[in-house]
A and B are shown apart, each in its own frame.
Chain A
Amino acid sequence: MNGLSAQKLKALQLLTQPKDSQLISHVNSCVHCGLCAESCMYYVATNDERFVPALKVDLLSTIYQRYSTVTGKFLPRLVKARELDDATIQEMVDLFFGSCTLCGRCTLHCSIGVDITYLVRVGRAMLASMGFVPATLQSTVNAALQTGNNMAIPTEDFTSTLSWLEDELRNEVQDPQASIPLNQPDVNVLYTLNPREPRFFPLSISAMAKIFYAAKESWTLSTFMYDVTNYAYFSCNLEEAVKIAERLFNETTNLRAKRCVLAECGHGSRAFRWEAPNYLQKLFSFDTLTSVELLAEYIREGRIKVDKDKNQETVTLHDPCNLVREGGIVDEQRYVLNHTTTTFVEMTPHGLDNLCCGGGGGQLSMSEYGDRRMKIGELKAEQIRKTGAATVVTPCHNCVDQLIQINNRFKLGVNIKTLAEIVADALVLDQPAVTPSPTQKA
């Protein structure tokens, strides 16, 4: 490894000296059966063989061979071993960042169980350690690290937005006691948001606030840390991912909330619920759950009353990869839709085998690859068109944005909604007079 820069040595360490044998097994096991090709939206949409997932594994494997095997070190051409030189790095950037949504469909279809998505993340981690994260993605991570939320919303703007939404809520439910509580300690639920909600799309905040009101939940938002996203999960810079996760962990702990409820956000759910205990090497003393599970729980336990006749248009469901294929949350959103809409139709395929929206893995933020993102989005558009649905529901704000774009580009003419918005539309509230308030008591 003589002659390699310190950055390259650090990147190679991630590949050749992992903490356990998992990586070594996965990187060296591909049998080139080719079954993964048809599972990848990039390959299907473009027919470009460079995008076959097995070749992404190969790229990593040939670098591994070069620096970790005797043949690779001394007779590199014999095993097609590759140097970690500039050309290799450029190819890594294009394949690991530029043509993968981390959707995990290739992993699901791999004939021998190679965790291809995990290998792509290792590839991204190597690039992150060498400073090759695409600028647009890094800029979103930096905003979160520097300001506490990935859209750099000043606290004053955040609080005034919530105060505005609180007024709207009071008008809507006709109860001056209805509220959006801020920074309350000892509550059941610390709720989180995707910053795009307060910045541009607050209907989902209003929807959740109305649902919490109907469920008589003890809840709060924190003005200090409310961002459910963790874009460092996409850039695969572990150190930065830990910092972001630690903030939400600390805030939930400081406020002594019993549950940290993650807003409708696929990667945010994955990063905090399933990755953060590993990031932080800690057992969490509070429960972490997604708002999808909470909504199902409210309906199942009768905490809220819903009337499905209030949502009579045909509805279909888009499954966010991180929540469904990676997180295993498959039935809850269907349970909710079956109780809040009259006509729910599935896409083909759906559930664990669903197609990505095309904007996952950080693609939505990476303008560098915007054309490819829209190209693979056409597959999703056709899937939606075939359902004949008027409304597409998805429990992920990242998917919502991609769906808005393909709706416009491919002229689908559908409405895009979050699950909370559908539930809020179906809510049956108690009569206002029944709700006790401090003034009425006095």
Chain B
Amino acid sequence: MATMEIDGRAFEVDGDGFLADPYIWNEEVARLIAKYDGIAEMSEKHWAIVKFIRQNWEEKGMAPMIRSICQVTGLRLKEIYQLFPLGPARGACRVAGLPKPDGCV
């Protein structure tokens, strides 16, 4: 485990910067992780993606498919990649406080 420091706040994270304890997550934590990735301000679109991912994880125990993210938020794929330059997994899921997904991400 490592510690990630943002704006004077410190979080326990894994070696990839995902929260060690997903349950300490709240909107302030989301804003700080996003800031760490270079997202200066979370827009409405950012929140729509993050809140849906968080809700899906709380209900089903996993990140949603990108198809569901597009359909629920009404955003185009390429827009999602622009909003989260690290992609839906290492970008959006991390901001949503999920543990790191398995596989090539």
The interface of chain A, by Cβ under 8 A from chain B, is 136, 139-140, 143, 150-153, 157, 160-161, 164, 194-196, 198-203, 229, 265, 364-371, 397-398, 401, 404-405, 407-408
Contacts and interface: CB of A to CB of B under 8 A. Distances in A.
A398 B66 CA distance: 18
Nearest to B37: A408
A397 B104 contact: yes
A290 B88 CA distance: 27
A203 B67 CA distance: 11
A194 B37 CA distance: 26
Contacts of A200: 66, 87-89, 105
A401 B77 contact: no
Given A160-B65, A370-B14, 4 more contacts: A139-B102, A152-B102, A398-B104, A401-B90
6 tightest A-B contacts by CB? A370-B15, A367-B15, A140-B102, A367-B14, A151-B103, A367-B16
A161 B67 contact: yes
A139 B17 CA distance: 18
Contact of B103 (A143, A157, A161, A164): A143
B75 interface: no
Contacts of B105: 196, 200, 364, 401
Contacts of B37: 408
B6 interface: no
Q: Is the interface of A mostly helix, strand, loop or mixed?
A: helix
Which bucket holds chain B's interface residue count? 20 to 34
B74 interface: no
Of B65, B78, B102, most buried by chain A (CB within 10 Å of CB) is B102
Contacts of A370: 14-17
A367 B99 CA distance: 11
Contacts of A151: 101-103
B103 A140 contact: yes
B8 interface: no
A302 to B, nearest CB: 31
A157 B65 contact: yes
A136 B101 CA distance: 10
A203 B77 contact: yes
Interface in B51-88: 62-63, 65-67, 71, 77-78, 85-88
B18, B37, B77, most chain A CB atoms within 10 A: B77
A202 B81 CA distance: 12
A401 B87 contact: yes
A365 B102 contact: yes
A196 B103 CA distance: 7
A405 B103 contact: no
Interface of B: 2, 14-18, 37-38, 62-63, 65-67, 71, 77-78, 85-90, 100-105
Contact of B18 (A143, A153, A367, A407): A367
Nearest to A397: B104
A398 to B, nearest CB: 5
Nearest to A398: B104
Contacts of B100: 136, 367
Contact of B15 (A160, A164, A368): A368
B102 A143 contact: yes
6 contacts: A161-B66, A364-B104, A365-B103, A368-B15, A404-B86, A404-B90
A442 B16 CA distance: 57
Contacts of A404: 85-87, 90
Contacts of B78: 203
Contacts of A367: 14-16, 18, 100
Nearest to A165: B67
A408 B62 contact: no
Nearest to B60: A154
Q: Which of A139, A229, A407, A408 has the most CB of B within 10 A?
A: A408
A156 to B, nearest CB: 10
A183 to B, nearest CB: 19
Contact of A199 (B16, B63, B71): B63
A350 B77 CA distance: 32
Contacts of B77: 202-203
A408 B89 CA distance: 14
A141 to B, nearest CB: 9
A265 B101 CA distance: 18
Given A140-B103, A151-B101, A408-B37, A164 B67 contact: yes
